[in-house]
Amino acid sequence: MPAVPSSIIDPIWDQFAALLPAREVPHPLGCPRCRIPDRIVLDKLVQVLVFGCAYARIADATCSATTLRCRRDEWIAAGVIDALHARALAAYDRMIGLAVDDVAIDCCITKAPGGGKVAGRSPVDRGKQGLKRSVAVDAAGIPLATIAAPANQHDAPLLGPTLDALEIVDRPMTVHLDRGYDSGATRKQLATRGLTAEIAAKGKPAPITAGQRWVVERTNAWSNAYKKLVWCTERRSAVIAFWITFSMVIITVKRLIGQAWTRYRWETRPSRRP
């Protein structure tokens, strides 16, 4: 069984292949060894993301661990995964519609045993190395932007960078936040950006289902289904951002196909709703 159903990964591959830069072969007679097809490498990286295991465990006779790392870095340098995420959001907005009138933002802490530039002492894991993701989602839980930070960093200072990372900036928004953001500095920052805030008050019980913050918790649960994010052994911030954005692409496309399944008909439409 594939790590991600073909009904989801095939559309991703079609757009991904269109974004890959043209590769120049400087040698007049070509490379002495055949280059591993990009589709094989992408499928292997999907397995790394889903199962969270080492590159060497996914590598086989068709593709080595070194090839996986080199091709990953090549795609990071070309900015392919960021462009793919922008395309996925644009497609969802065109066919379903992004509900950005209400945006929820929250953080999630996971393990980072390898340390690195965006790892820090986790306050919820006995001081072990951890990674924090600050996630912004629309009213339906579609991930709009995510940034990574050390686990010992407070949620509130990450609000500004998370809002800066949003691609959708030309629409009025109401930002829904939990009580960790309840401060005058947060309200002033949102007012400066022209955004309305709905923030849970400190010291008052507020069930997560009372407002519209529950969707970001659900999206964090979707992201944590990809074990590479739950147990992140990467050390470079660019590589961590690659895996986070890759998971956002898969989540967005899966939600897009699930919503379109009941509204549209197309040739490769899956027999059941994903």
Q: How confident is the model at residue 108 (pLDDT cuts 50, 70, 90)?
A: very high
pLDDT tens, position by position, 135-174:
999 999 999 999 999 999 999 999 999 999 987 656 788 9
Going along the chain from its start, the domains and CATH numbers come out as 99-234 (3.30.420.10)
Got the DSSP string for 204-264? S---GGGTT-HHHHHHHHHHTTSHHHHB-----HHHHHHHHHHHHHHHHHHHHHHHHTTT-
**Secondary structure of 23-88 as H, E, C letters:** CCCCCCCCCCCCCCCHHHHHHHHHHHHHHCCCHHHHCECCECHHHHHHHHHHHHHHCHHHHHHHHH
pLDDT of the residue at 104 = 95
Distance, first Cα to last Cα, the chain: 15
pLDDT of the residue at 138 = 94
In this prediction, residues 32-51 reach a mean pLDDT of: 91
pLDDT tens, position by position, 256-268:
999 999 988 888 8
Pairing of strands 174-177, 196-199: parallel
3-state secondary structure of 145: strand
pLDDT tens, position by position, 195-245:
888 888 887 776 666 678 889 999 999 999 999 999 999 999 999 999 999
Task: Say yes or no to pLDDT of 89 above 90.
Answer: yes
3-state secondary structure of 11: helix
**Burial group, residue 261, by CB count within 10 angstroms (0-12, 13-18, 19+):** middle
pLDDT of the residue at 163 = 92
Task: Say yes or no to pLDDT of 86 above 80.
Answer: yes
Is residue 111 within 8 A of residue 230, CB to CB? The reply is yes
pLDDT of the residue at 237 = 94
Q: Considering Cα of 63, then 64, then 69, then 70, what sign does the dihedral take? A: negative
Is residue 98 within 8 A of residue 138, CB to CB? The reply is yes
Q: How confident is the model at residue 74 (pLDDT cuts 50, 70, 90)?
A: very high
Is residue 176 within 8 A of residue 103, CB to CB? The reply is yes
Q: How confident is the model at residue 25 (pLDDT cuts 50, 70, 90)?
A: low
3-state secondary structure of 184: helix
pLDDT of the residue at 37 = 92
Residue pointed to by tokens 């897009």:
256
3-state secondary structure of 191: helix
Report the chain's mean pLDDT, rounded to a whole number. Answer: 90
Task: Please list, in sequence order, all residues whose beta carbon lies within 8 angstroms of the beta carbon of residue 274, skipping any fewer than 6 positions away.
Answer: 5, 7, 8, 254, 257, 258, 261
Q: How confident is the model at residue 8 (pLDDT cuts 50, 70, 90)?
A: very high
**11-25, 82-96, 125-139: which range is least confident on average?**
11-25
